[in-house]
Amino acid sequence: MAVSHAARAAPTDFLAEVLAATPGGDPRLDRCIQCGTCGGSCPSAADMDHTPRQLFALIFAGMRDEVLRSNTFWYCVSCYFCTVRCPQEVHITDIMYALKRLAIREGLYRESGAAEAPAFAETYIDYVENYGRSFELGLATRHHLRHHPLGAIKKVAFGMELWRKGRIDLTPKRIKNMAQLSAILNKAKELEAADGRGGGA
Amino acid sequence: MSTNGAKPKLAMYWAASCGGCEIATLNIGEHLLTVDQVFDLAFFPCIADFKVSDLEAYADGSIDLCLFNGAIRSAENEHMAHLLRRKAKILVAFGSCAYEGCIPALANLTSRQAILRTVYLENPSPDNPAGVLPQTITKVPEGELTLPAFYHTVKALDQVVDVDYYVPGCPPESEQIWAVLQTVVAALSEGAPLPPKGSIVGAGQAAVCDECPLARHEKRIPRFYRPYEIVPKPGLCLLEQGLVCLGPATLSGCGALCPQVGMGCRGCYGPLPGVVDQGARMLTALASVIDVSGKPGDDEEALARRVEEAVSTLVDPAGTFYYFSMAHSLLRRARVQDDGQGERHDATDHH
Amino acid sequence: MKYGYYPGCSLERNAIAYHESAMAVAPLLGIEFTELEDWNCCGATEYISLHALPAYALVGRNLALAAQQQLNRMVAPCSACFINLAKTDKYMADDPRLARLVNEALAAGGLHYKPGSVRVRHLFQVIVEDVGFEAVAARVVKPLYNLRVAPYYGCLIVRPTLQPPFDDPEYPTSLDRLLRVLGAKVVDFPVKTHCCGGHMTQISEATALELIRRLLKNAVDYQADMIVTLCPMCQLNLDGYQEEVNKHFGTDYRLPVLYFTQLMGLAFGLPPGVLGFGREFVDPTPALAKIGAEPPAPDKKERPSKEALPMPAMPRQDGGEP
Amino acid sequence: MGESDRFEPLIIGFTCNWCSYRAADLAGVSRMKYPPNVRLIRLMCSGRLDPVFVLKALAGGADGVLITGCHPGECHYLEQNYKALRRYHLLRMLLTQLGVEPERVKLVWASAAEGGRFAEEVGRMVEDVRRLGRLNWPAVAADGTEPGDGQTPNAGHVHEAEPVVAAEAHQEEVTP
Amino acid sequence: MSTTPLSPKPRARIGVYVCHCGSNIAGVVDVKEVARWAGRELADEGVVIARDYQFMCSNLGQELIEADIKEQGLTRVVVAACSPHLHEATFRNACQRAGLNPYLCEMVSIREQVSWVHTDREQATAKAKALIAGGVERVAWHEPLEPVIVPINPTTLVVGGGIAGIQAALEIADSGYPVILVEREPSIGGHMAQFDKTFPTLDCAACILTPKMVAVGSHPLITLLTYSEVERVDGYVGSFQVTIRKKARYVNTETCTGCGLCIEKCPVRVVDEVFEAGLGYRKAIYRPFPQAVPKYPVIDTEHCTYFQRGKCKACQIFCPTQPKSIQFEQQDERIQVEVGNIILATGYDLFDCRRIPQYGYGRLANVYTSLEFERLCNAAGPTGGEVVLRDGVTKPKTVGIIHCVGSRDRNYNNYCSVICCMQSLKFAHLVKERTGAEVYNFYIDMRTPFKDYDEFYQKVLAEGVHFVRGRVAEVTDAARHPGEEGKIIIQVEDTLIGRQRRIPVDMVILSAALEPRRDAQEVAHKFGIACSTNGWFIEKHPKLDPVATMTEGIFIAGCAQGPKDIPATVAQGAAAAARVIGRIHQTRLALEPIRASVIAERCSGCRICNNLCPFHAISFREDLGVTEINPALCQGCGTCVAACPAGAITGTQFSNEQVFAQIEGLLMLDFSGKPVRRLEPLAAAAEPAFP
């Protein structure tokens, strides 16, 4: 397929960028032998525009934009099947996380089919950063009101059902030492920004 | 050899030592009478009042035999070594200190300044608010007071003067001493041949194990123990029980006294002749039989960690392996910083 | 046995049934919990999708607090919390750089965490490893005879295999064995470690519903009366979204989804009231009604025909030799 | 500090005849480049490596010693490199006590096929030892008298400033 | 009572020869300067002549050295050129021709270690000088050595009766030397005997193997010990003493005619885990297969009713021979044999597919291993060659064949098992041929090297077999759609279209990896050889010496050395045989005199060294209380030399003196080549002013 030269970074650079953005020891991506075990194992492969394997091939080819525009990693459910099955012990799930972060940093995810995922994540961590705990009701409602006002009705019904069964709070809980948590998270973000490794830690 | 019928002259001097060598010498018992018959005591400050001036008065080479014990730790020691070398026909490095540094040379693991500080400042006993340290020259109204310089590195006798023979041991065994004296006497009186210069005399041929009655087998040591940690099984080689014993690396001649009472050999008779660095020999021997191995495909870091664990049960290798031979070891001393922070570095410091 | 307890956000409310039943059975197994003081959310799979270091710092705070409160043996009942806590500890150990950065961040909150100082395990893992099947068996007073259960592990309790893997990441059998000990009939459940859809319910519902359908279908194919889970997310997706699945695929599944702790409680003779029953979307009472007083007759093996070829020997799942 | 006047450490390397010496050969045949600071001695096996060789080299003026052998489990004499490994660790303990930074004595496994690894490790070690500075043990052993302490008898060689001893210098940075 | 000190450095007349190697060395090292320097500065060290020359290894170069030895009366030679692994032999021979003991020559590598790895001319030259100084100092301590000569016993032990061992045994025996062939199982034949057809020619394994088996059984020079295992090995190349345990057969092979009546009458049916790979049955008294060599059956006591419950004896009752050939009282016997060389052809084990649960083997009835399938389509197999499902009757309509099961996977075996691709192609062909089913092959990379292999691939392609490039993710019976009900579904990414596919089939065949024998490590230790990280026996050199090992007199052949197909296995069997025959022809063998020895009077019997030698060369003489080293067993590694706390063990060619001297030499020059001021700090200093 025709790829404009501009879209193609020097192969090794992008691979290096991805590796650097993946913490937790050597992610071993450079060992990939393109066997497809990941793509074969993935429960949501059907929804992905590229199978993980293809995505890796694109990374090796240095096709940065195409990779970061892909919806593949947004459909990753982090079930770790690919990771434990990979014959080369590539940390695939972690790489998917890394790609999500890079895509967000580059603002490219919006073009991917799964524009909502990051939004949902944002709403989620909003609560975590303000309360220290997640908050299902707020999470679900706020997220859905924002992104599908219509679908939200259904969601609210679901929420009500949860509430009826005593499975949901109407108000979020806040941890005691929120100040400490905020300090930690802010410092962490600062470090991450300074580091400029696409959040590779 | 001895001129005009006059009795040959014997000298015995102590440098940095504990006096144990003299006591061992006097322990030869009734043989002392023979010694007295055969020799003129020319210089023996430990048992009679001799002055250095007396010694200086002798013609060079006029003393037939000098037993020099003690290490060279100060300028005075070295001065006396040179003096006695001049005066004596046969100079013997007598006992472990003179031979290879012995306990005094363990000071080489730290620095002169650390020692002076410990002794004159940090000890509970001294009352030294001004923090005065000994100086070679101190001016006082009456004039100048002098002290011999205190060396940073303790040396063996043969590291400052030429030595004819070595008698190992801390102290040397009395019967060995007597045997040595007999050879010399034989040489002096009947002109019997002396052993070649540089020989170790008053010792055996092989290692201490040769004289050790404890049962020995193939060795596999999973970890080491310090003497207080276990009660050794009687009759069984201490090494095999994980107790450090320098017997295998130490010249025989003592009759393996220590191992027989359940105390590992400390190595006071020094290495076998021709062996460079007794400590290293013991180190390599012990390490070789540490019972940590692996199989193909083992994680190399994990393997290294297991080995490190096992060896780290051997506390203070330097002090253990160079108990007596520090001055004669290849490295001779520890490398310490100029500020005199000469504390010995605990082996567990490194990762 | 004393453990630190990290409930995680779900168990506070949505999975409160899990929390209550866990608290009810724990004392019978000699387990004593001390809840981690002022714990915070583990970030689920969301936080790490946006920021790496803050995500690890977020979890790092929990670990640091645990160490500070001398809770060196932590238990997390939620698979996602468990994996986040355990993974952060391991990655900090494997990646000194990460460890340094996380600790720099923690320092801003006056905290520090030394990798390896806290061992985090899943509640189920603790029951298997520390309590043991014998001790569980000793507690059973009302065996769950006749109840056909599909043992559902989900992904995160067996994957990724953080040291030491306590069961097979593809085909674990410890939950099967536990349920057998409780007297239930465990059906073969090939998809026992497949994904429940996770947070896809929020992002791409269609994707999630298909994953849920696969699980429900397989359980039904093997005539299970119910699915037993170890994880709040799995329970919510399979139970709460079952109606949605039926609408979406025109199916008619009515498969209760319970926590293993709830079944333990029943087998231990505890009243359903203390086990958080009544909060399910799919009513389990019909299924539970099947529980009989008598052990079912062992299903007879039909003799293989004389032409049939022998099958390879497999290890017995009760841990014994084949 | 310019190329010209930067400190050039002298390192004695020990190789086993079957793996690491052949790795060195391979590095040569493949024209890989590494700094000329290492001078090799061929032994039949890393099991022949007598710690006394290391001490001898250091005492004789070497700034570091590189010990190489076959990977564990691949020793051509089956299991002798395990002995080398044990000796190495005990020796490091000893050297640390004697004020020699452990980095100055390094054990590296290199198979006959790992010419690249060999070259890399040599380069790395030269850098490490250069950082640690000159060892100059002959001067240490000769006298080691600290200057300016008011008493320098038969003042020998001026004792040069020593680097901090490894034991303190190289604390694991991550976990205090 | 007195012991004398160290011996002084011996005086020597040393010649130094520096090679230009064309521009290989001279291009970077100032060779002429180096030679000049050596002649001038190393004179005190004993150098009497130093020359440089274009190519020292050329005849002229060698003659130069020979001439100097004769005319200048050189007693030592140092050649600074390439790696000793290239030309040490060359220059040693030159010395020998000139009447100088070859071991008085030392090589210094200034090409591989200097000119080829360094660029700065000055620094390279300096290093070259230092290396030569090291060589000069060292060579002075060299001693003349004579090779260790050992006689070679003409009998050879072959361990393992698979095709590799069979080939080796026949080659040696046919050339007129006796062979003892030891096989663990009741019959020789190995894995090959289990196969149906062999790729790529598809000729039947039995048809080509049986004649060889018979030849072994009837060969006058081959002693066949089946149902036997080697227990211990003593001695060394030329004269090994081997202890072999002959397991009780409970059948008297003297009288047994192999009629097989006992087998027929035996009431106990047992799943045959070995020969039938668990797919078929045998009796408690059995012969692995009809063409077994030898033909005598054995009793499997674990399942025999008589041995378990003390009654039955059907086999004995019905045995037609007089006296009866069934002997329940038979015992294992130990036999001692003397051999000169040993060939290990112990083969491989098949990967246990249960270790990959997602492939369903053991849980899903119709998932087979490659070995099971071999038996399935073998005319002599449990189904008489019918390719059917586990029910024993149904023919599959769709079959999936999965490559690389347990191979090329860091979770199991991180290597390619070599034979799987061709084997899977063979299976595909056989399935088509026998059932006409649709066949899918799932592969990562199709590897068909070697003669006629790729042609076979072409043939199978033409037969309409489907090939899916992708490593199978899972094999499951969990149906998602009506079309999948009752089938086995193979889930895989078809990497050529980049989609996940689920392909329903009736039968799955797993091309399982070849693994080292479970006891390979133990066996290796018994014979004093090594295993690689993957567990295969290590050859002496991967390319140039693939059937020899580091232990003199021990050779390896076949899959014990690594996965390989039948042609390669046969070739190795023959190669090992050729090496052995060569040895036997020499009648005597000269071993490198690099050996350790104990100075008895210095040995105190501390026994530190006693368990350090993997070649069992070190033994303790209880009577003398000292340790001894057997020079023929010693391989010269020097570990004991380095370990002896008393310095009582010396090693020729690598003595402490030699290494010390070399260290001193290497340190004579600093980095830039300037001589280091030899400070003698501890020599008697001038008498100090007192105080």
Per-residue pLDDT of E636-659, as tens digits, reads 999 999 999 999 999 999 999 999
H/E segment holding residue E573: helix E566-586
Task: Please state, in angstroms and as integers, the Cα–Cα distance from residue B131 to each residue in B112, B117, D102, E425, following that order.
Answer: 16, 9, 36, 91
Q: Which of the four pLDDT bands, split at 50, 70 and 90, describes residue E1?
A: low
H/E segment holding residue D67: strand D64-69
CA dist A23 and E248 (Å) reads 60
Nearest CA distance, B237 vs chain E (angstrom): 9
CB within 8 Å: E411 and A81: no
Q: Which of the four pLDDT bands, split at 50, 70 and 90, describes residue D166?
A: very low
- Which among A40, A46, A81 is the nearest to E492, CB-wise? A40
CA dist E382 and E384 (Å) reads 6
pLDDT surpasses 60 at B267 = yes
Q: Which of the four pLDDT bands, split at 50, 70 and 90, describes residue C321?
A: very low
> Which single residue is written with the structure tokens 């016993």?
E153
Burial of E278 (0-12, 13-18, 19+ CB in 10 A): buried
CA dist E618 and E606 (Å) reads 13
* 3-state SS, one letter per residue, for E177-231: CCEEEECCCCCCCCHHHHCCEECCCCEEHHHHHHHHHHHHHHCCCEEEECCEEEE
pLDDT surpasses 70 at D65 = yes
pLDDT surpasses 70 at A197 = no
Partners for B (CB, 8 Å, 3+ pairs)? D, E
**Per-residue model confidence (pLDDT) at position D4:** 58
CA dist B98 and B6 (Å) reads 29
User: What's the whole-number average pLDDT of chain C?
Assistant: 92
CA dist C42 and C81 (Å) reads 6
H/E segment holding residue E47: strand E47-53
At a CB cut-off of 8 Å and minimum separation 6, what does E28 contact? E114, E115, E116, E118, E119, E121, E124
Give per-residue pLDDT as tens, C257-286: 999 999 999 999 999 999 999 999 999 999
Q: Which of the four pLDDT bands, split at 50, 70 and 90, describes residue E687?
A: very low
Residue A126 vs residue E73, higher pLDDT: E73
Give per-residue pLDDT as tens, E6-31: 567 778 999 999 999 999 999 999 99
Percent over 70 (pLDDT), chain E: 97
Determine contact, residues B160/D153, Cβ cutoff 8 Å: no
Judged by a CB distance cut-off of 8 A, whether residue C248 touches chain A is no
User: What's the whole-number average pLDDT of chain D?
Assistant: 81
Judged by a CB distance cut-off of 8 A, whether residue C99 touches chain A is no
CA dist B107 and B115 (Å) reads 8
Judged by a CB distance cut-off of 8 A, whether residue E610 touches chain B is yes
> Which single residue is written with the structure tokens 């007071």?
B145
Numbered residues of chain E with Cβ closer than 8 Å to any chain C Cβ = 271, 278-281, 354, 356-358, 361-363, 365, 382-383, 390-393, 476-480
CA dist C210 and A47 (Å) reads 11
**Per-residue model confidence (pLDDT) at position A10:** 64
Whether A and D touch, i.e. at least 3 CB pairs below 8 A, reads as no
Task: Please state, in angstroms and as integers, the Cα–Cα distance from residue E362 to each residue in B7, C194, E306, following that order.
Answer: 100, 20, 32
Which residue, among E340, E333, E342, has the nearest Cα to E527 in the 3D structure? E342
CB within 8 Å: E684 and B162: yes
Judged by a CB distance cut-off of 8 A, whether residue C90 touches chain A is yes
Report pTM. 0.77
pLDDT surpasses 60 at C320 = no
Helix ranges (DSSP H) in E219-313: 261-265, 305-309
pLDDT surpasses 80 at A137 = no
CA dist C172 and A163 (Å) reads 34
H/E segment holding residue E368: strand E367-369
**Per-residue model confidence (pLDDT) at position B125:** 85
> Which single residue is written with the structure tokens 């059956």?
E297
pLDDT mean over B246-272: 96
**Per-residue model confidence (pLDDT) at position E234:** 85
In C, which residues are within 8 Å of E480 by CB distance?
214, 217
Determine contact, residues D64/D106, Cβ cutoff 8 Å: yes
The DSSP symbol for C155 reads S
Nearest residue on chain E to B238, alpha-carbon basis? E606
In E, which residues are within 8 Å of C168 by CB distance?
357
CA C199 to chain centre: 17
CA dist E308 and E289 (Å) reads 24
Nearest residue on chain B to E681, alpha-carbon basis? B159
Strand order in the sheet with E466-469: E367-369, E507-512, E398-405, E438-443, E466-469
Whether B and A touch, i.e. at least 3 CB pairs below 8 A, reads as no
- Which among B288, B318, B338 is the nearest to D87, CB-wise? B288
Q: At what angle do helices A52-60 and A92-105 cross, to 10 degrees?
A: 60
H/E segment holding residue A135: none
**Identity of the amino acid at B307:** V
Determine contact, residues C232/C201, Cβ cutoff 8 Å: no
Judged by a CB distance cut-off of 8 A, whether residue D91 touches chain E is no
Q: What tokens were used for B341?
A: 């922070």
Residue E442 DSSP SS3? strand
Partners for C (CB, 8 Å, 3+ pairs)? A, D, E
Question: Is the peptide bond preceding residue C164 cis, with omega within 30 degrees of 0?
Answer: yes
Nearest CA distance, E273 vs chain C (angstrom): 9
Which residue, among B283, B240, D93, has the nearest Cα to E644 in the 3D structure? B283
Q: In this predicted structure, which of C295-309, D141-155, E98-112, E283-297 has the lowest mean pLDDT? A: D141-155
**Per-residue model confidence (pLDDT) at position C316:** 64
Which residue, among E65, E58, E54, has the nearest Cα to E15 in the 3D structure? E65
CA dist B256 and D21 (Å) reads 43
In A, which residues are within 8 Å of E491 by CB distance?
40-41
Partners for E (CB, 8 Å, 3+ pairs)? A, B, C, D
pLDDT mean over C76-94: 94
H/E segment holding residue B140: strand B137-140
B136-141 contacts at long range (C-beta below 8 A, 24 or more positions apart): B136/B75, B136/D150, B136/D151, B136/D153, B136/E691, B137/E691
CB within 8 Å: D29 and E112: yes
ipTM of the complex: 0.72
Q: Is D175 left (phi over 0), alpha (psi -120 to 50) or beta?
A: beta
User: What's the whole-number average pLDDT of chain E?
Assistant: 94
CB within 8 Å: E278 and C168: no
pLDDT surpasses 50 at D147 = no
CA dist B291 and B303 (Å) reads 12
In E, which residues are within 8 Å of D41 by CB distance?
134, 659, 662-663, 666
Give per-residue pLDDT as tens, E539-569: 888 888 999 987 889 999 999 999 999 999 9
- Beta-sheet pairing, E507-512 with E367-369: parallel
Determine contact, residues B101/B108, Cβ cutoff 8 Å: yes
Residue E133 vs residue A147, higher pLDDT: E133
- Which among D40, D61, D79 is the nearest to E667, CB-wise? D61
Judged by a CB distance cut-off of 8 A, whether residue D94 touches chain B is yes
Partner residues linked to C222 by β-bridges: none
Judged by a CB distance cut-off of 8 A, whether residue E364 touches chain B is no
Give per-residue pLDDT as tens, B151-166: 999 999 999 999 999 9
**Residue C301, number of CB atoms within 10 A of its CB:** 6
> Which single residue is written with the structure tokens 């050899």?
B1
DSSP state string for A18-51 = HHHT--SS---GGG-----HHHHH-TTGGG-SS-
Q: What tokens were used for E641?
A: 């030399």
pLDDT surpasses 70 at B3 = no
Give per-residue pLDDT as tens, E71-104: 999 999 999 999 998 899 999 999 999 999 999 9
Determine contact, residues E565/E352, Cβ cutoff 8 Å: no
CA dist D71 and D49 (Å) reads 15
In C, which residues are within 8 Å of D175 by CB distance?
99, 114-115
Q: Which of the four pLDDT bands, split at 50, 70 and 90, describes residue B344?
A: very low
